[in-house]
Amino acid sequence: MIPFHYARANDVADAVRMISADPAAKFIAGGTNLVDLMKENVERPSRLIDISRLPLDTIEPTADGGLRIGALVPNSDLAYHPLVEQRYPLLASAILAGASAQLRNMASTGGNLLQRTRCAYFYDTVTPCNKREPGSGCSAIGGINRIHAILGTSENCIATHPSDMCVALAALDARVRVTGPAGERAMAFDDFHRLPGDTPQTDTNLLPDEIVTAIELPALGFADNYSYLKIRDRLSYAFALVSIAAALELEGGAIKQARLALGGVAHKPWRNTAAEAALRGQRADQASFSRAADILLRDAKGYEHNAFKIELARRGIIRTLTQAAQATPQSQYDKKIR
Amino acid sequence: MTSYIGTATSRVDGRAKVTGEARYAGEFKAIRLAHAAVVESAIPKGRISRIDTGAARRVAGVLDVLTHENRPRMADTDKAWKDDVAPEDGSPFRPLYDDRIMFSGQPIALVLGEDWETARYAASLVDIQYDKQDFVTDLRQQHDQAFVVEKPDKPHGDADKAFAAASVRHEAEYYIPTEHHNPMELFASTVVWDGGGKLTVYDKTQGVQNVQRYLCSVFDKAPDDLRVISPYVGGAFGAGLRPQYQVVLATLGALALRRSVRLVLTRQQMYGLGYRPATIERLALGASANGTLDALTHEAIAVTSQFEEFSRNDTGWAALLYKSTNANYVHKLARLDLPTSSDMRAPGAATGVYALECAMDELAIALKLDPVELRLRCYSDRDQNEDLPYTSKALRECYRQGAEAFGWKARKAEPRSMRDGSDLVGWGMATGVWEALQMPMAVRIVLGANGHAEVFCAASDIGTGTYTIMAQVAADALGLPIDNITIRLGDSTLPQAPVEGGSWMAASTAHAIAATAEEIRGELLALAKRIKDSPLADARPEDVALADGRLVSKLDASRAISIADAMRSGAIERIEKEKTNTFAEDKKHARNTHSAVFAEVKVDEQLGVIRVTRVVSAVAAGRILNAKTAHSQIMGSVVWGIGMALHEETVFDHRFGRIMNANIAEYHVPVNADVHDIKVIFVDEPDDLVNPMGIKGLGEIGIVGVAAAIANAVYHATGKRIRDLPITLDKVMR
Ligand SMILES: Cc1cc2nc3c(=O)[nH]c(=O)nc-3n(C[C@H](O)[C@H](O)[C@H](O)COP(=O)(O)OP(=O)(O)OC[C@H]3O[C@@H](n4cnc5c(N)ncnc54)[C@H](O)[C@@H]3O)c2cc1C
Ligand code: SF4
């Protein structure tokens, strides 16, 4: 960890001013990711701009029947909020699948979006890593890559985005509200995170002088038929090998609307609208689920240690869609997968 | 008066631990305390060609930066660097000694600062240039260069020939990856500069006297000038048997600065210490159709460093468990550019018996025999290495009681034949075996006229419950309530004790307390006899006991004198006795503990996710001193066994010779959700041969066999035999 300045922002405008004035500064919210990376000398901010006391910690219904979630709402408050539990149980479930109770108490909504990859080489400053040091090479390709991506990879980086919450947000068609020097704007969730391409050092399309202020959810919450299934190397407190958020709107035995997003497989929460389209109008059965899985995974590519993820994702998709269709969502309290 | 021995007495140090009153090595305070941070090597092998500490020194608050170039003097012979438990062969690691790099993560500079943050930051500014050399950190790559090490197990007959001729054969290779101890407490030392070159060293260790002798030797100190204290240890599991480099560096820092220094390693740096060596095990079993063994070959290749030969016995356990007409054992070591491997809970047995017990399962399947039945047919009543009977061996009873508690009878032999909804259900079992060791040890007891006693010994309690069982034994031996007993441990100035390891602590401390208490009783009797018309005037020492604060005749309970009265008669306030207990040598018996472990797994057929839903561990370990702490030891071991089976693996990138999961987010151990129902049974095992009190110890037996029972259960559930640990879901899906 290097010495750094610390300043507290008084309001959103103040925060934007402060970050615009110092490109080497970083916002700190819960600090659960940033401080770890600072200790490892991966993040070396000149200044921490403390946004944790900004009044962005409310959850409110919006005029169009959706929900607006402040960027500083703690992950645990969000998961246990009555409106979220009732109307967006997929989101509540995904959050509770992540990290530990202690971490969720500290972690913020905005910070969760901006958490960085868990690629071991990204953390180890001794080894080459394009994301940490552009141009130095990717050690994971040809190295230890069990937790790495199978979709949307590039020859420069095969890292994954580790969030669970974001997988649900992607499935729910959330929007991200951000504020910069030029004012406010909103981004579709799918546009927020990037694929690595040849600039893996950039995780998102948030500009360096912008702050995330809120997440907005549309009215449609899929509260009846949903499931979040996280498959990992132990039954709790581990990052996903593959996670699946599935949400269905059923009419009779047929699928009216479908959402399918995957975590642990790409540089961003992975959604595939073709797979969702293939489900629409179909019967909610194994054959349709299997077809959707095949479409979603069509371009999947495995590496030395993670090739198993392709088949695991396929089976996981079928299982999760089945759980959603049967209205028997995966419980995050059970010590078992349903 | 009720006896404390055997009861479920709660930990006497429990309150101190949960309130934070119990201090650990990194928590002791000192005036003008400086803080240290370690700079580690980025490469596994080579030389330091240049080390530039200029930028680090210029940071405000930095007091000094020590390297091999400017450090204070340290000993220059291997002999001086050998601690009590160092491997016999080799040259012990010397931190900051010279420019040689022998493993990635090796400490190569020590930054000393006014506070820890400053030291840590400055450490990141130390600039090092290396002359790199070729290295190897992969056991599979070094396989062919492995060399044979002598072990006590004795081959007999011609195992190869018998194997070739056997009617049923099983041969396979098993693999256990490198594992790290990961105790909750970080390795830390606080070295207090007492002035005039005297030092008090608070250290995280399993043996204060080992550390004291070692530091005196390395720094050429007189024994009286250096005291090592370690009252509490937050887990060590073998990692604290040898002095670790942080205690050398903290001492070095204190000597350089002539002030007190604290060094706490980071979690990541703890992966630069010892580890359970990765091991390749080959088993070849040949049986006759009736299920008796004709041939048994066990070969192990384990990892050690380039500079020391650490090894434990992986191969000898079969000779304790199973009769075989012919047997061959080969133990090899492969040198890698890593730190020296080290003891970790049940070293040698955890790995060797894993392989042996999986192989026995596979043989049972080949023979179409129930796995328990095969073990009974091969059961050995003698240690075949030494051809000796056991002091006691209630293993048959472990199989019987364990199987009954588990419901083994209902098992269907066919793999994939049991189900629970969409889960495949598997039942597996394995045997565990460990040694019943005991060591000479000294204890001092100070008994006051008020009926309070203090018991002193240099031993460590690494969290196992040593304080508690010592208090129980002392309370019984002195006939006092347990609240009147105070146990003082973990100080090198206290009476002699060996390092806390090998499961020898319970037997050793209990007998040392009993021996010293006997002296106290003798003295009390002498005093009691001096009382006018003493009711014990004619009593012989063996005819009196201490109970309820009194000396009582065993022949006539009405003849008694209180401790207070006895002391008053001699006009004394206290009696102080110290005695070293040694155990009578017995070369006519083998001494071991045993267990039978039964495990149930449920495996998601599609996703390969494994849950260990039930474990029954039936243990025969002589007399159980404390039902509660004993249960905790076995339960904790079972949890660790679940980790060994399903989770634990230190992951290397052999291109860099570095560990890639050096933290406890990515180095997986079981969490609550991975632990279900664990039942512990202590099988009655009276034993008056092993030692007078019949104690065998049980810190290690609990982990032995657990991983095998789970691996065997996974096979039974899925029909897939996975021999390389850990058994992750991708291996099951494959
Ligand atoms: C051991 C461990 C296990 C974990 N396991 C999981 C898991 O299983 N699943 C999972 O999803 N997560 C997991 N996490 C990650 C955790 O969810 C994140 O660390 C957390 O969500 C980050 O939130 P924070 O508020 O603490 O962010 P911080 O650490 O404060 O910030 C993270 C980044 O976001 C930026 N930032 C924060 N807020 C804003 C904002 N409003 N606008 C712009 N930039 C902002 C910061 O500058 C920083 O770069 C785990 C973390 C740990 C340490
Ligand atoms: S996968 Fe990405 S983060 Fe990991 S080493 Fe390669 S470039 Fe770095």
Flag whether residue B653 sits within 8 Å of chain A, measured between CB atoms. yes
Please name which of B490, B288, B298, B506 lies closest in space to residue B385, comparing C-alpha atoms.
B298
Counting ligands in written order, the one closest to the CA of A134 is 2
pLDDT at position A218 is 98
The reply to whether CATH 3.90.1170.50 applies to domain B34-134+184-236+240-270 is: yes
Query: Which residue of A2, A231, A234 is in closest CB contact with B670?
Result: A234
Mind listing the pLDDT tens digit for each residue in B661-706? Answer: 999 999 999 999 999 999 999 999 999 999 999 999 999 999 999 9
Contact status, residue B202 vs residue B186, Cβ threshold 8 Å = no
Query: What's the order of all strands across the beta sheet hosting B147-148?
Result: B147-148, B324-336, B293-305, B279-287, B168-176
φ, ψ for residue A102, nearest 5 deg: -60, -45
Q: Please indicate whether, in this complex, the C-beta atoms of B609 and A337 are within 8 angstroms of each other.
A: yes
Q: pLDDT band for A85, please (50, 70, 90 cuts).
A: very high
Residue B91 has pLDDT above 70, yes or no: yes
Counting ligands in written order, the one closest to the CA of A146 is 2
Tokens of B474: 């002392």
Tokens of B203: 């250290």
Tokens of A175: 């929007």
Q: Please indicate whether, in this complex, the C-beta atoms of B121 and A3 are within 8 angstroms of each other.
A: yes
Q: Please indicate whether, in this complex, the C-beta atoms of B607 and A319 are within 8 angstroms of each other.
A: yes
pLDDT at position B627 is 96
Residues forming CATH 3.90.1170.50 domain(s) in chain B: 34-134+184-236+240-270
CA distance A151 to chain B (A): 18
Nearest chain A residue to B671, by CA: A236
Q: Please indicate whether, in this complex, the C-beta atoms of B670 and A316 are within 8 angstroms of each other.
A: no
The residue among A337 and B712 whose pLDDT is bigger is B712
Cα torsion A38, A39, A40, A46: sign: positive
pLDDT at position B1 is 54
- Give residues with Cβ within 8 angstroms of B205, minimum separation 6: B25, B211, B228, B230, B233, B236, B240, B243, B244, B247, B460
Query: Alpha-carbon distance B204 to B245, whole Å?
Result: 11
State which H helix or E strand residue B631 sits in.
helix B627-646
User: Bridge-partner residues for B594, per DSSP?
Assistant: B433, B620
Directed axis angle between helix B349-367 and helix B371-378, to 10°?
A: 110
Residue A232 CA to ligand 1 center (angstroms) comes to 19
**Parallel/antiparallel/unpaired status of strands B46-52 and B127-132:** antiparallel
Query: Alpha-carbon distance A238 to B666, whole Å?
Result: 8
Of ligand 2's listed atoms, the one at least distance from the Cα of A138 is 6
Place of tokens 């030797």: B217
pLDDT at position B2 is 67
CA distances from B278 to A93, B104, B180, B308, B548 (A): 39, 17, 10, 16, 53
Contacts of B730 in chain A (CB under 8 A): 308, 312
Tell me whether residue B581 is exposed, middle or buried, using C-beta atoms within 10 angstroms of its C-beta: 0 to 12, 13 to 18, 19 or more.
buried
Interface of B with A in 672-701 (CB under 8 A): 672-674, 676
A25 lines ligand 1 (CB under 6 A): no
Q: pLDDT band for B502, please (50, 70, 90 cuts).
A: confident
Residue B712 CA to ligand 1 center (angstroms) comes to 40
Contacts of A320 in chain B (CB under 8 A): none
* Collapsed DSSP state (helix, strand, coil) of residue B712: helix
Nearest chain A residue to B729, by CA: A233
Give the CA angle between residues B419, B422, B425 to the nearest 5°. 30
Q: Please indicate whether, in this complex, the C-beta atoms of A1 and B121 are within 8 angstroms of each other.
A: yes
First to last CA, chain A: 43
DSSP-assigned letter for residue B623: -
Query: How many other β-carbons are positioned within 10 Å of the β-carbon of residue A281?
Result: 12
Mind listing the pLDDT tens digit for each residue in A32-43? Answer: 999 999 999 999
A306 lines ligand 2 (CB under 6 A): no
Give the CA angle between residues A57, A59, A65 to the nearest 5°. 155
Of ligand 2's listed atoms, the one at least distance from the Cα of A137 is 7
Interface of A with B in 112-171 (CB under 8 A): 118, 120-121, 124, 126-127, 139, 142-144
Flag whether residue B121 sits within 8 Å of chain A, measured between CB atoms. yes
Of ligand 2's listed atoms, the one at least distance from the Cα of A145 is 1
Q: Please indicate whether, in this complex, the C-beta atoms of A335 and B611 are within 8 angstroms of each other.
A: yes
Q: Please indicate whether, in this complex, the C-beta atoms of A235 and B655 are within 8 angstroms of each other.
A: no
Q: What is the mean pLDDT of chain A?
A: 97
Query: Which residue of B120, B728, B734 is in closest CB contact with A233?
Result: B728
pLDDT at position A338 is 85
pLDDT at position B152 is 83
Q: How far is CA B371 from the centre of its chain?
A: 29
CA distance B635 to chain A (A): 19
Mind listing the pLDDT tens digit for each residue in A138-195? Answer: 999 999 999 999 999 999 999 999 999 999 999 999 999 999 999 999 999 999 999 9
Of ligand 1's listed atoms, the one at least distance from the Cα of A237 is 8
Query: Alpha-carbon distance B662 to B646, whole Å?
Result: 18
pLDDT at position B151 is 85
Show which residues of B are catalytic. 700
The residue among A334 and B412 whose pLDDT is bigger is B412
Domains and CATH numbers, chain A: 5-52 (3.30.43.10), 225-325 (3.30.390.50)
Maximum pairwise Cα distance, chain A:
62
B536-562 burial: b if 16+ Cβ within 10 Å, else e = beebeeeebbbbebbbbbeeeeebbbb
Residue A131 CA to ligand 2 center (angstroms) comes to 6
A174 lines ligand 1 (CB under 6 A): no
Tokens of B312: 């434990």
Mind listing the pLDDT tens digit for each residue in B657-673? Answer: 999 999 999 999 999 99
pLDDT at position B576 is 98
pTM, to two decimals: 0.98
Mind listing the pLDDT tens digit for each residue in B109-138? Answer: 999 999 999 999 999 999 999 999 999 999
Counting ligands in written order, the one closest to the CA of A108 is 1
Residue B94 has pLDDT above 70, yes or no: yes
Flag whether residue B729 sits within 8 Å of chain A, measured between CB atoms. yes
Query: Which residue of B423, B604, B647 is in closest CB contact with A234?
Result: B647
Tokens of B369: 């025999």
Cα torsion B314, B317, B318, B319: sign: positive
Tokens of B322: 């199973």
Please name which of B724, B729, B734 lies closest in space to residue B176, comparing C-alpha atoms.
B724
**Parallel/antiparallel/unpaired status of strands B324-336 and A225-231:** unpaired
Please name which of B606, B269, B668 lies closest in space to residue A239, comparing C-alpha atoms.
B668
Q: Please indicate whether, in this complex, the C-beta atoms of B608 and A312 are within 8 angstroms of each other.
A: yes
The CATH classification number of B439-581 equals: 3.30.365.10
Residue type, A90: L
Q: Please indicate whether, in this complex, the C-beta atoms of B121 and A118 are within 8 angstroms of each other.
A: no
Residue A253 has pLDDT above 90, yes or no: no
Query: Alpha-carbon distance A99 to A79, whole Å?
Result: 13
Contact status, residue A95 vs residue A104, Cβ threshold 8 Å = yes
Query: Alpha-carbon distance B699 to A12, whole Å?
Result: 57
Protein residue with its CA nearest to atom 9 in ligand 1: A98
State which H helix or E strand residue B401 sits in.
helix B395-406
- Give residues with Cβ within 8 angstroms of B446, minimum separation 6: B453, B454, B456, B574, B575, B576
Mind listing the pLDDT tens digit for each residue in B199-239? Answer: 999 999 999 999 999 999 999 999 999 999 999 999 999 99
Contacts of A43 in chain B (CB under 8 A): none
Tell which of A33, A229, A235, A290 to mutate to test the B interface (max B CBs under 10 Å). A235
A30 lines ligand 1 (CB under 6 A): yes
pLDDT at position B183 is 97
A32 lines ligand 1 (CB under 6 A): yes
Of ligand 1's listed atoms, the one at least distance from the Cα of A164 is 11
Query: Alpha-carbon distance A315 to B422, whole Å?
Result: 13
How large a percentage of chain A has pLDDT more than 90? 98
Residues forming CATH 3.30.365.10 domain(s) in chain B: 276-437+587-733, 439-581
**HEC letters along chain A:** CCCCEEEECCCHHHHHHHHHHCCCEEEECCCCCHHHHHHCCCCCCCEEEECCCCCCCCEEECCCCCEEEECCCEHHHHHCCHHHHHHCHHHHHHHHCCCCHHHHHHCEHHHHHHCCCCCHHHHCCCCCECCCCCCCCECCCCCCCCCCCCCCCECCECCCCCCCHHHHHHHCCCEEEEEECCEEEEEEHHHHECCCCCCCCCCECCCCCCEEEEEEECCCCCCCEEEEEEECCCCCCCCCCEEEEEEEEEECCEEEEEEEEEECCCCCCEECHHHHHHHCCCECCHHHHHHHHHHHCCCCCCCCCCCHHHHHHHHHHHHHHHHHHCCCCCCCCCCCCC
DSSP string, B445-477: EEEETTS-EEEE------SSSHHHHHHHHHHHH
Flag whether residue B606 sits within 8 Å of chain A, measured between CB atoms. yes
Contact status, residue B322 vs residue B296, Cβ threshold 8 Å = yes
Q: What is the mean pLDDT of chain B?
A: 97
Mind listing the pLDDT tens digit for each residue in B524-577? Answer: 999 999 999 999 999 999 999 999 999 999 999 999 999 999 999 999 999 999
Q: How far is CA A73 from the centre of its chain?
A: 16
* Collapsed DSSP state (helix, strand, coil) of residue B134: coil
Tokens of B30: 């000192």
The CATH classification number of B276-437+587-733 equals: 3.30.365.10
